Amino acid sequence: MPRLTLPKDELVSKGHSGCAGCGATLLARLCLKALGPKTIINSPACCWSVVQGVWPRAALKVPVIDHAFECTGAVSSGIRAALDAKGIDDVIVVGWAGDGGTVDIGLQALSGAVDRRTDFIYIMYDNEAYMNTGIQCSGCTPLYAWTNTTPGGKNQEWKQVAKKPIMEMLISNGIAYGATVSIAYPEDLVTKVKKAKTIRGTKFIHALSSCPPGWKIPSSKSVEVARLATQTGIFPLYEYENGAYVLNKDVKTKPVEEYLMSQGRFKHLTPAMIAEVQRRVDEDYAALKAKCKGAGASG
Amino acid sequence: MLDLMTGNAAAAKAAMLARVEVIAAYPITPQTSISEKLAEMVANGEMNAKYIKVESEHSAMAALIGASYIGARTFTATSSQGLALMHEMLFWASGARRPIVMPVVSRALGPPWNIWTDHMDVMGERDTGWMQLFCENNQETLDLILMAYRVAEDKDIMLPAMIIEDGFILSHTFEKVDVPAIEEIDFYLHPFNPDVKVNFRKPRRYGSLVMPDWAMEFRYNNALAMEKAKKKWVEAGIAFKKAFGRDYSSLVELYRCEDADVALIVAGSAAGTAKVSADRMRERGRKVGVAKLRAFRPFPTEEVMRLGEGVRTIGVFDRSYTFAQGGAIYGEVRNALYPMASDVRVKGYIGGLGGRDITEAEFEKMFEDLLAIAKSGSMSKDVEWVALKDGSYRW
């Protein structure tokens, strides 16, 4: 088996308070390997405000500015403006937020930051629901998923619509670079975060991060399930830069059923619902491949 | 140098003189001309600052909190609905001990839509841990903003400050303003160099999660800083007088109160009108005075008590209402005077809401009412709305 070629530096200490098998904790560890110590993280209310540990202890070996739920884009702009005012140009500014804090309550400030072309990396760790408050539906919760606010019940009130197309929204908003990453593909992840560091402007990283309690999976399976998301085409790994899309891992080989049935939050899905998910994934994947090809053709 | 300028121009000028490094601003009437003037000064290179065009007031405050953690001197301005939208981040700024200075051009909150001045907006934020100071005129707007940085950034204080100028009455009215040279200000106000700022040698969390075993001590430290701020404002006022000749060395400015039978406490631009009314009353032999409340937070409890020792009938004019007993200042004054409650009568007057003009004649009526209370030793009503029209209307 080939060895991973990841940077050795560890900027997440032992003793964090993430759940066993927390995808977002592994994600932070991998991202910080790529980001390095000259990074300022700012982060809203989210799982990570707890995962980092309780005052006076802190699990990260980089400075972290905490703030309110909807502020990540704005605080990032403020940090960058102050660094510019002070003539400091060797610091990476990172906004680190969950999916609800990004696509729902934080969308306005994020859109503002993109509009201002703030030079920073926004990393959305997408565990597909409000997990810190105990699994409520967000704009990133997938179609038909169970959460505590899409509980099914007599009226079958599961999530009724697909995830918000946040990457497309931000591309049309004006990001300089966009990439999807997964904890199951760490080298791809590190390569993309390192690349984001070299680009001026707003960079958006959409990171799928599995959540054992929220997805109702065993904590030992979080990487495996995340890998299935890519192998089924549900979460393809691609990049966007200067109008061009690149599909980094064309590994869609498995039916969505395998991914869905590995998780308790989808256990109620009927064959018809699974078929509908498959239909949509096939369509979206084909559309993405067409965009990648189009980009290739135009050079 | 003497200049003719609006309150908003004076506020923008103060930001320039303070060598503000990061501005985040969003337009709202009647504050807008502050953010426009700053944009112009930055664009022309008259000011060496970064200007963030935020997409809301909430984001303005959030951006400045981030910038302040890097060690930058920060500035924004707002009014009314914008201040209300900032509410959450006002708590964050004071809790995080970021000494942001912000003129608030006071304006009523809707509905009904109303763009004119009252103090409902600032009084709605009185418990957010911000220092709050009222201006009587445009000179005070310029001077208090400069003083505010000196106090807010003091290592013992590290609290944000609102400098309140009344919408339109000050913000859009031209007045004579003495503008100090920036070199003189440099001597009065030193560069911002906070102890708590992002430091890569000792990485830590700023605004961490604190459990119940220590959270209360954090809040108590904020309370102590606010208490200490009283002395710091007096000291900053004394130093200001020494440097520029204008006197702001007390949190309450007493006007003809020494031998007064009654005194009226007023904050903001209405204090000027009240002083003219007091002069008229004095001409008629009525011994009345005005106590201009400069600081609302920190609240000058001791000064109000000293006033109560000399003057036994006190009126409080509020441009706000609390939906309890009277206006916000009235509540604080009664609270401060409670230990001598049996000897001092305090009457509240509510007026000037939504930009309603408050005239010399109205103040004269208030003074006459207070004199009657002083004479009879009793009052029929604790709180009265002044210059209220009769007639039917629908909500």
Most B-contacting residue of A42, A46, A55 (CB-CB within 10 A), to test interface: A55
- As a residue count, chain B comes to 395
Q: Which chain B residues are within 8 Å of A109, Cβ to Cβ?
A: 55-56, 58-59, 62
DSSP B254-275: EES-TT-SEEEEE-STHHHHHH
Gap between the Cα atoms of A194 and B256, Å rounded? 70
Q: Check CB contact of A115 with chain B, cutoff 8 Å.
A: yes
Q: How confident is the model at residue A294 (pLDDT cuts 50, 70, 90)?
A: low
What residues contact B232, with CB distance under 8 A and at least 6 apart? B151, B154, B156, B157
For the domain that residue B351 is a member of, what is the CATH number? 3.40.50.920
3-state secondary structure of A276: helix
| Number of domains observed in the structure of chain A | 1
pLDDT value for A3: 78
Residue B395 counted as domain residue: no
Residue at B392 is within a domain: no
**Domain span at B361:** 252-385
Helix (H, G, I), strand (E, B) or coil at B131: strand
* Residue A109 at interface with chain B, using a CB cutoff of 8 Å: yes
**Dihedral over alpha carbons A166, A169, A172, A177 (to 10 degrees):** -10
Whole-number pLDDT of residue B341: 75
For residue B34, tell me if it sits in a domain.
yes
Structural domain of residue A127, as residue ranges?
23-297
Q: Can you tell me whether residue A157 is helix, strand or coil?
A: strand
CATH of the domain at A266: 3.40.50.970
Residue A298 pLDDT level (bands cut at 50, 70, 90): very low
> Which residue has 């997938």 as its token pair?
A142
| Of A37, A58, A67, Cβ closest to residue B62 | A67
Q: Say if residues A92 and A62 touch (Cβ distance below 8 Å).
A: no
- Residue in A12, A35, A49, A66 to test binding to B, most B beta-carbons within 10 Å: A66
Q: Is residue A16 part of a domain?
A: no
A54 contact residues in B (CB cutoff 8 A): 208-211
- How wide is the angle at C-alpha B371 spanned by C-alphas B370 and B376, nearest 5°? 100
Query: CA-to-CA distance for B237 and B12, rounded, in angstroms?
Result: 21
Residue A297, pLDDT score: 41
Two tokens, residue A133: 């408050």
A71·B208 Cβ contact <8 A: no
Chain B residues inside the 8 Å CB shell of A50: 209
φ/ψ of residue B349, rounded to 5? -120, 130
ipTM, 2 dp:
0.97
* Residue B46 belongs to domain with CATH number: 3.40.50.970
A100-148 pLDDT tens trace:
999 999 999 999 999 999 999 999 999 999 999 999 999 999 999 999 9
- Cβ B10 vs Cβ B148: under 8 Å: no
Percent of chain A with pLDDT over 70: 98
Find the Cα–Cα–Cα–Cα dihedral B187, B192, B195, B197, rounded to 10°. Answer: -170
* Single-letter amino acid code for the residue at B188: Y
Q: Which two tokens stand for residue B320?
A: 């706000």
CA distance B234 to chain A (A): 31
Are B56 and A109 within 8 A, CB to CB?
A: yes
Q: Are residues B232 and B355 in the same domain?
A: no
Q: Cα B97 from chain centroid? A: 19
Domain count, chain B: 2
Which residues are CB-contacts of B222 (< 8 A; sequence separation ≥ 6)? B94, B95, B97, B129, B159
pLDDT in tens, chain B (395 residues): 999 999 999 999 999 999 999 999 999 999 999 999 999 999 999 999 999 999 999 999 999 999 999 999 999 999 999 999 999 999 999 999 999 999 999 999 999 999 999 999 999 999 999 999 999 999 999 999 999 999 999 999 999 999 999 999 999 999 999 999 999 999 999 999 999 999 999 999 999 999 999 999 999 999 999 999 999 999 999 999 999 999 999 999 999 999 999 999 999 999 999 999 999 999 999 999 999 999 999 999 999 999 999 999 999 999 999 999 899 999 999 999 998 877 899 999 999 999 999 999 999 999 999 999 999 999 999 999 999 988 667 76
Is the model's pLDDT at A296 over the cut of 50? no
Q: Residues of B with CB below 8 A from A105's CB?
A: none
Chain A contact set for B69 (CB, 8 A): 65, 79, 82
Neighbours of A49 (CB within 10 A): 19
Distances (CA, A) of B35 to A65, B78, B217: 27, 9, 37
The Cα of A55 is separated from the nearest Cα of chain B by a number of Å equal to 5
Instruction: Write out chain A residues lying below 8 Å of B76, CB-based.
Output: none
Burial state string for B165-194 with b = 16 or more CB within 10 A and e = fewer than 16: bbbbbbbeeebebebbeeeebeebbeebeb
Question: String of b and e for B26-40 (b: at least 16 CB within 10 Å)?
Answer: bbbbbbbbbbebbbe
d(CA B136, CA B366): 19
Query: Between β-strands B295-297 and B383-385, what pairing exists: parallel, antiparallel or unpaired?
Result: unpaired
Same domain, B211 and B80: yes
Q: Answer yes or no: do B380 and B267 share one domain.
A: yes
Say yes or no: B215 and B346 in one domain. Answer: no
Q: How many CA atoms lie within 13 A of A181 on its CB side?
A: 31
Say if the Cβ atoms of A81 and B63 lie within 8 Å.
Answer: yes
Taking the CA of residue B283 as centre, how many other CA atoms within 13 Å lie in the half-sphere pointing to its CB? 7
Residues B234 and B273 in one domain: no
Q: Which two tokens stand for residue B162?
A: 């609102």
Are B190 and B217 part of one and the same domain? yes
| A263 close to A215: Cβ distance less than 8 angstroms | yes
**Which residues of B are less than 8 Å from A71 in CB distance?**
58-59, 62, 65, 89
Q: pTM of the full predicted structure? A: 0.97
